[in-house]
């Protein structure tokens, strides 16, 4: 889903900058709230050395040929962690009740 709300764009970009150093180029954002993924497409290819893929931190480079054209940041708002924690607590409570 394209993000047209400027306040939400700013919030997501602030979260992204905490996880990865972004180049100073125009970007296009696409946020998928059902899986909490932010896709940042750069307005032009950038030097791939400027961003390091970090799958453990949920940062994945997007390439066309060998040119870096964007990044995906998984679990950008940490909502998936919160959902998993809530599910784990629910399962734990159900086992205690039985």
Model confidence over 40-71: pLDDT tens digits? Answer: 999 887 776 666 677 777 888 888 888 889 99
Q: Per the domain annotation, does 1 fall within a domain?
A: no
* pTM score: 0.70
In this prediction, residue 40 carries a pLDDT of 92
Question: What's the structural domain count of the chain?
Answer: 1
Give the domain range for residue 89: 6-97
CB-count burial class (<10 Å; 0-12, 13-18, 19+) for 69 = middle
Q: Per the domain annotation, does 47 fall within a domain?
A: yes
- Whether residue 97 is predicted with pLDDT greater than 60 in this model: the reply is no
Residues in the chain: 98
CA–CA distance from 18 to each of 22, 58, 65 (Å)? 10, 12, 27
- Whether residue 34 is predicted with pLDDT greater than 60 in this model: the reply is yes
- Whether residue 26 is predicted with pLDDT greater than 60 in this model: the reply is yes
């Amino acid at each position: 889903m394209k993000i047209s709300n400027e306040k939400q764009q700013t919030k997501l970009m602030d979260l992204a900058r905490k996880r990865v150093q972004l180049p100073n180029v125009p970007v296009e954002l696409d946020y998928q709230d059902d899986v909490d993924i932010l896709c940042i497409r750069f307005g032009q290819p950038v030097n791939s050395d400027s961003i390091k893929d970090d799958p453990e931190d949920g940062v994945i480079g997007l390439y066309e040929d060998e040119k870096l054209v964007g990044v995906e940041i998984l679990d950008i708002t940490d909502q998936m962690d919160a959902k998993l924690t809530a599910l784990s607590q629910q399962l734990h409570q159900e086992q205690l009740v039985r």
